[in-house]
A and B are shown apart, each in its own frame.
Chain A
Amino acid sequence: MTPDTETHRLHPALLWLQRALTAAALLALGFLVLVYLLYFLSLLRFPFDYDQGEGFELWDSVLLARGDAFYRDNTVFPFYSSNYGPTFRVLLTPLVLLFGPHLWIGRTWSFLMTVGIAVLIGGNVWREVKRPALAALAGMAFLASNTVYHIGPLYRSHTTMVFFGLLAVTLMARIDEVRHRQRTILLALVCMMLAIYTKQLAFDAALAVFVFLFLRKPRESILYGLAFVVAFGLIHLLLNATTGGMWSLNAFGANANPFVTGQAETFTWQWLSLHRVIVLLAALYVVYAVYFDRISVYALYFVAGVIPGILSGKWGAGPNYFMAATAAACIGTGVLLGVIANRLGEQAGRNRPARIGLAAWGVIVPLLFIAQAWFNLHLPLDHPLTRPVARALGIPAEAEGRFRQSYYDTVGYTQLGHLITQQDIAAGWYIVEVLRAVPGPVWSEEAMFPINAGKEVVTNPTQLLNLYNQDRLEMDEMIGMIEREEFGAVVFRARFYPLPVLEAIGQHYRVSEQVEMNGFTYDILLPTP
């Protein structure tokens, strides 16, 4: 943790204490990275939706590979449309064409995106303060975050958005140093466009980048900003024109759900509580950058990154909305701690308090990361590699009120994070066999059952529900098909469908059997005789 030039003045016992604590911090965060790897490998084996929505993201790439649009009219069969930007889907389409419609493709991609984000965090910290252990700890702190762990290895677009957003921020941080300044800015803007067209939440990176550019070069900021808005608008118009307005309706209209303040407060407090060390240090870094140094793009990214987090108070949103803020917090933490160490290091030769401060820094900083790892603690309790650690930490194998006995998480209740069992996989294939055996299309709340059964995906449930709640969904055709019992079977998990659809299915289909998979009960309904 402390460079050689600074260590020769330390008492050997203190030096070894610092080294031991640094190793302990790396070990603590390294353990959580190992847990993340185990989770990722476990998910690779599971060809069904772990999180409702993964299969739909895959289906978009399947549609594109077939030459079909994925922004479609929800009122006509198969009543399906995507509701996210195209970047993630387009990037994965060649891989889906190459390997087939498998979830492991997107899960591996998203996992690598999170690793890429961690590398960017470490790289930025290293660039700013030249302290390798600190850079490593900052990067690992990102992978140790509960939220990153939960969402990271899923076939979802969020990590791709954060990666491109952070890449734009990283490039922008270098514009005063690079030889090809204009080229670097253009590249940053391309990354930002990719991020925004992955998910609109990437406006945080755009805000940070343009405010930063404005502070440095107002003219460049305004001219590039105008060019960016024009390019954004042209892509938007092109998407709208080629999809008959379905892009606008599904990606913007259907996502405009009412703001629920209580939910936003819950997620915000949860994020603050789980990441209290790095959030506090990042906030101090913002104060330092704004009032005592030049305002950095990292400081702006942290402030801007909190905004989408606060906007998580709407139906369908989740704690992952804070992922960009978490990445920015890791950078802010690393840079702040590095700046403190470097300032102390500069004065340690001639200043006794600075020497004491530097010695204390070497002890306190690893302890801060160990504390952060403790607040983020999550681990499976039934895996041979993690069970001994759980025992050592005093986590009981059985605990009243714990959502899953096989998994511990400081978040408390979470549907994500546990490891998949062989029974889960078998249950998924059982449902697929049932769907294969029935004639015609099937109405499934999750996409991977029909995909694995070799059938078309029918409906994107939450999309239908959002449009119905906004009174923008015409349901005559789908209810007609349900009433004529044209679907061979129906599979429900959460019943996130418009009420008239649920009523029609209730009148024309009966529950044939219930299958437990991944901790949830799936109802298989067959037409009434």
Chain B
Amino acid sequence: MRHLLDLWNGRKPITKRLAGIGVALAGLGIVLGVLAVDFAGFGKETGLGPSQRLAIAGGVTVLLAGLPLIALGDRPA
């Protein structure tokens, strides 16, 4: 809690690790979101369409970009 307050007040910077977690979660969210949309039946065709595949590829790229950042630890982002 104190750590979050420090971040909120700008006493501590957002770290590479925190940024990495955020980026990786965003990537994961994109992938799961696209799959959820398809699962819910919003897609016009059966299976993943080209736009959905593109979005999943984008999501995986974002996820993979976030992972190395996590390893960079407490350096300011």
| A binding-site residues for B, Cβ under 8 Å | 214-220, 259, 261-262, 264, 290-291, 294-295, 310, 313
Q: Which of A214, A261, A291, A310 contacts B69 (CB 8 A)?
A: A291
Q: Kindly identify, within residues 22 to 36 of chain B, every residue whose CB is under 8 Å from any CB belonging to chain A.
A: none
Q: Which of B9, B19, B49, B65 contacts A215 (CB 8 A)?
A: B19
Instruction: List chain A residues, Cβ under 8 A from B46.
Output: none
Instruction: List chain A residues, Cβ under 8 A from B8.
Output: 218-219
| Chain B interface helix/strand/loop/mixed | helix
Instruction: Verify B14–A218 contact, CB threshold 8 A.
Output: yes
Report the Cα distance A293→B56, complex, angstroms. Answer: 28
Instruction: List chain B residues, Cβ under 8 A from A313.
Output: 51
Output the residue of A259, A291, A310 with the most chain B CB within 10 A: A291
Q: Which of A217, A290, A291 contacts B10 (CB 8 A)?
A: A217
Instruction: Verify A290–B69 contact, CB threshold 8 A.
Output: yes
Judged by a CB distance under 8 angstroms, whether B72 is at the interface is yes
Report the Cα distance A180→B65, complex, angstroms. Answer: 35
Instruction: List chain A residues, Cβ under 8 A from B65.
Output: 290
Instruction: Verify A215–B77 contact, CB threshold 8 A.
Output: yes
Q: Which of B10, B68, B72, B76 contacts A218 (CB 8 A)?
A: B10
Report the Cα distance A264→B58, complex, angstroms. Answer: 14
Q: Which of A215, A261, A295, A310 contacts B50 (CB 8 A)?
A: A261
Judged by a CB distance under 8 angstroms, whether B54 is at the interface is yes
Pair count A-B, CB < 8 A: 36
Judged by a CB distance under 8 angstroms, whether B7 is at the interface is yes
Judged by a CB distance under 8 angstroms, whether B13 is at the interface is yes
Instruction: List chain B residues, Cβ under 8 A from A294.
Output: 76-77
Instruction: Verify A259–B7 contact, CB threshold 8 A.
Output: no
Instruction: List chain A residues, Cβ under 8 A from B50.
Output: 261-262
Give A307's nearest chain B residue, CB to CB. Answer: B58
Report the Cα distance A295→B75, complex, angstroms. Answer: 11
Least distance between B26 CB and chain A CB atoms (Å)? 10
Interface size class, chain B: 10 to 19
Report the Cα distance A216→B14, complex, angstroms. Answer: 7
Instruction: List chain A residues, Cβ under 8 A from B54.
Output: 261, 264, 310
Instruction: Verify A219–B69 contact, CB threshold 8 A.
Output: no
Q: Which of A216, A219, A262, A291 contacts B13 (CB 8 A)?
A: A216
Report the Cα distance A214→B58, complex, angstroms. Answer: 22
Give B66's nearest chain A residue, CB to CB. Answer: A290
Q: A261-B51, A294-B77 are in contact. List 13 more A-B contacts (CB 8 A).
A: A214-B14, A215-B13, A215-B77, A216-B13, A218-B7, A219-B8, A219-B9, A219-B10, A261-B54, A264-B54, A294-B76, A295-B77, A313-B51
Give B76's nearest chain A residue, CB to CB. Answer: A294
Chain B, residues 29-69, CB within 8 Å of chain A (1/0): the string is: 00000000000000000000111001000100000010011
Q: Could you list some 29 contacts between A and B, CB below 8 A?
A: A214-B14, A215-B13, A215-B14, A215-B77, A216-B13, A216-B14, A217-B10, A218-B7, A218-B8, A218-B10, A218-B14, A219-B8, A219-B9, A219-B10, A220-B10, A261-B50, A261-B51, A261-B54, A262-B50, A290-B65, A290-B69, A291-B68, A291-B69, A291-B72, A294-B76, A295-B19, A295-B77, A310-B54, A313-B51
Instruction: List chain B residues, Cβ under 8 A from A295.
Output: 19, 77
Give B14's nearest chain A residue, CB to CB. Answer: A215
Report the Cα distance A360→B50, complex, angstroms. Answer: 44
Instruction: List chain B residues, Cβ under 8 A from A216.
Output: 10, 13-14
Least distance between A487 CB and chain B CB atoms (Å)? 39
Report the Cα distance A294→B16, complex, angstroms. Answer: 9
Report the Cα distance A167→B50, complex, angstroms. Answer: 35
Nearest 9 pairs of A and B residues by beta carbon: A261-B50, A217-B10, A215-B77, A215-B14, A261-B51, A219-B8, A259-B51, A295-B77, A218-B7
Report the Cα distance A148→B50, complex, angstroms. Answer: 29
